[in-house]
């Protein structure tokens, strides 16, 4: 028995062949019309945009990581009362040279990573067959709120001081959503806007949970479940990181956020 979502087995076995666009990147822009690229890939433009985002940000990670960041883009668009294309293609103001193009979020200048393109996230890489299918799953709602309402993500393992980032996000009311099956929190640290202050009882508990997760980065466990020998399942030992506060009274009011579509929690998660 595992704690993976019901779509795990179906999508894990799909082809990882890249659906090549044949488009080069010049001055931070993929030099093809996005709508034509989507049509050649056989999907809608929103699905294609999400797929490029998923592939570019966490394409070498698990399928759960890709679904989680895909859901985060959809949720962030809803939070901003826009759509995914407004986040991933048209975030820049009219007349901006990178508006309406896929491409990278960063470039290196004298060894320093800068963000001159005005993008919310990278969309520079062609997606695989598998990632396109995962993007369709996300856009259809079939992934079932796997990411527990996450609306942003960061690679905390790439930062020199991840705890500082967790605190900075908390100041804006954004906190780690907690451990997810198949997701390495140090590689893909998923935030949700809970909108509570870090000095409130709930905010303090959420902040402590996030800080505990980044403090325990040695080994960077991926949440999974193992057979408990009694016909059920339990979280594997490493998955306890970041979970210890879930049953606290302070978090009781937000536990409902950790439930999938239909109101049922993922097994033991």
Residue with tokens 């479940």: 225
Check residue 81 and give its pLDDT.
Answer: 94
pLDDT above 80: residue 123 = yes
Strands (E), the chain: 25-26, 29-30, 107-109, 112-114, 152-154, 174-176, 189-193, 225-227, 233-235
- 117: phi then psi, degrees, rounded to nearest 5: -95, -10
pLDDT band with cut points at 50, 70 and 90 for residue 245: very low
Q: Which stretch, 27-41, 104-118, 206-220, 224-238, has highest mean pLDDT?
A: 27-41
Beta strands, E only, 85-147: 107-109, 112-114
Pair 188, 69: CB distance under 8 Å: yes
- pLDDT band with cut points at 50, 70 and 90 for residue 158: confident
Lowest mean pLDDT among 36-45, 125-134, 182-191, 192-201: 182-191
Question: For residue 205, with 0-12 CB atoms within 10 Å meaning exposed, 13-18 middle and 19 or more buried, which class applies?
Answer: buried
pLDDT at position 186 is: 87
Please check the confidence at residue 203 and state whether its pLDDT lies above 80: yes
- The whole-angstrom separation of Cα 169 and Cα 191 is 8
Over the stretch 5-19, which tens digit does the pLDDT of each residue have?
A: 889 999 999 999 999
């Amino acid at each position: 028995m595992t704690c993976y979502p019901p779509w795990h087995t179906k999508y894990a076995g799909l082809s990882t062949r890249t659906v090549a666009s044949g488009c080069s990147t010049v001055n931070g822009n993929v030099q093809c019309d996005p709508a034509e690229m989507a049509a050649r890939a056989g999907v809608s433009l929103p699905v294609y945009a999400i797929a490029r985002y998923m592939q570019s940000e966490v394409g070498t990670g698990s399928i759960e990581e890709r679904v989680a960041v895909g859901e985060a883009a959809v949720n962030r668009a809803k939070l901003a009362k826009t759509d995914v294309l407004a986040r991933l293609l048209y975030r820049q103001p009219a007349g901006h040279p990178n508006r309406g193009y896929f491409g990278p979020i960063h470039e290196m200048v004298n060894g320093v990573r800068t963000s001159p393109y005005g993008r919310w996230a990278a969309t520079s890489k062609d997606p695989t067959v598998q990632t396109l299918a995962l993007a369709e799953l996300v856009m259809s709602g079939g992934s079932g709120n796997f990411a527990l309402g996450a609306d942003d993500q960061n690679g905390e393992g790439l930062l020199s001081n991840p705890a500082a980032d967790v605190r900075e996000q908390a100041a804006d009311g954004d906190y780690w959503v907690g451990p997810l099956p198949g997701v390495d929190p140090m590689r893909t640290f998923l935030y949700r806007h809970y909108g509570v202050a870090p000095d409130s009882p709930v905010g303090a508990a959420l902040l402590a949970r996030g800080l505990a997760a980044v403090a325990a980065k040695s080994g960077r466990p991926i949440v999974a479940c193992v057979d408990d020998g009694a016909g059920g399942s339990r979280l594997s030992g490493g998955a306890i990181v970041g979970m210890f506060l879930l049953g606290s009274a302070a978090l009781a009011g937000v536990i409902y956020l950790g439930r999938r579509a239909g109101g049922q929690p993922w097994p033991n998660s």
